[in-house]
Amino acid sequence: MVLKDNVVEWFIKSVIIPQQEIMDKPGFVFTKVTNPDRVLLLREVFLSEKIFSELEKQIVKKYGAVGIKALYTAGKRAGYSYSVVSKFKKITEFKDIKPFSDFLYLFVRYVGTIWAKNITYKQDYTNKKIEFEMSEFIICRLNGLGYFLVEGNTAGFWAYLMNDVTVEGYQESCQGKGDSTCKMIFAPISRLPLKKPYFGDVDYSNLDLPSKYEQINKLQNLQYSKVSILNLINNKVFKYSAGIIERNGERFFNVGLPYFYLLELELKQLNGASSVLFDISFEFGKSFINSENAQGVIDYLSAMGWGDLFIMKKSDKYSVIANFFPWTQFAENIDFSLYRGLLSGMLSSVYKKDIKFRKFTHSTISDAMLLIINED
């Protein structure tokens, strides 16, 4: 089994990831999803692991059990949404279990290649249960929490595959807490050894792609930046290896748009939580950027998949027009706290003074999303 795992890991690193991830387009990052009838380009952005680690810590500290439930719920909806838009086949759609097992094996190895290390699992299809053991899983390795991307996301994914919305899950051990490995278990709630207080019904509706998703998020030529994430990698700004991107030891990872949209949507229901996300993103952006001019900020954000942007100054106040901004159907319901915070922090670093973009408007015109943000 070890030999097979090593061969599959090599295949994923050398063949699947280079063919699936599109990272050479300024303003856009895509992953290709191949369905029986078409190839779908799902738009993604690269985000810092540090932002999510700090966000979980602060949300749990400030909101306690309510905050944990919000993080876990957002993760469940994101994992379920990812499965829906990827058109994964549920176990109930297979006449023979072997093709499903083959898919599961390859997918787990893929996740284990880009988000973790040394991942193993055992499944019990009769009881709709799966257990994982791994090391170095992103985010939880730093904070010992993992409610959003580790527990919630995997619970949503497994709920979809098992065609059972009662699926829940949790970590039994975590390296971020000092354990030797991370262990997780997922199953219908009635078959779990423990019942966590943040378990509960989740709204899995309206998570598929709207008909205009592809049109609004289609590849466009940028006006203000010609830099892609691949350019930054080739120029040694970032280190890249098999889906993992790092800079100065800090890890970045690519996620589909529903992940940050659904997280912001859930946090917005907690009084003040959107401001927590803004402040964390602000501090990260302020400390991370290494540029003496605004073009460096434009190029960095475009390379990470955030579209095109133009910076203006009027009456000593800055405004930013972000064109071709990543869009989902949840755009009407969030405050873009993560993006506004990142951009605020980065420009504060460049201009050596605090710039905070608190105001925003957005629209979809000419088959693209336009986001305009302004200072207080």
One domain for residues 147 and 11: yes
| Residue 241 covered by a domain | yes
Name every residue whose Cβ is closer than 8 Å to that of residue 370 and which is 6 or more positions away in sequence.
Answer: 321, 322, 323, 325, 362, 363, 364
| Residue 289 covered by a domain | yes
Chain position carrying tokens 């709204």: 203
- Return the CATH number at 291: 3.30.1380
> Are the beta carbons of 165 and 178 closer than 8 angstroms?
no
| Residue 15 covered by a domain | yes
One domain for residues 333 and 221: yes
| Residue 239 covered by a domain | yes
Helix (H, G, I), strand (E, B) or coil at 212: coil
One domain for residues 236 and 149: no
One domain for residues 83 and 173: yes
One domain for residues 146 and 250: no
Chain position carrying tokens 């949840």: 330
Residue type, 118: N
Q: Phi and psi at residue 241, in whole multiples of 5°?
A: -155, 110
**Distance in angstroms (rounded) separating the CA atoms of residues 239 and 117:** 18
Q: Which domain, by its residues, includes 141?
A: 2-22+38-191
What is this structure's pTM? 0.93
Structurally, the chain folds into a number of domains equal to: 2
One domain for residues 319 and 369: yes
One domain for residues 160 and 52: yes
Q: How confident is the prediction along the chain (376 residues), in pLDDT tens digits per residue?
A: 443 455 445 444 554 466 688 889 999 999 888 776 778 899 999 999 999 999 999 999 999 999 999 999 999 999 999 999 988 999 999 999 999 999 998 888 888 777 888 889 999 999 999 999 999 899 999 999 999 999 999 999 999 999 999 999 999 999 999 999 999 999 999 999 999 999 999 999 999 999 899 999 999 999 999 999 989 988 988 887 755 788 888 899 889 999 999 999 999 999 999 999 999 999 999 998 877 789 999 999 999 999 999 999 988 899 999 999 999 999 999 999 999 999 999 999 999 999 999 999 999 877 899 999 999 7
One domain for residues 342 and 258: yes
Tell me how far CA of residue 247 lies from CA of 13, 122, 288, 342, in angstroms.
Answer: 20, 34, 10, 16
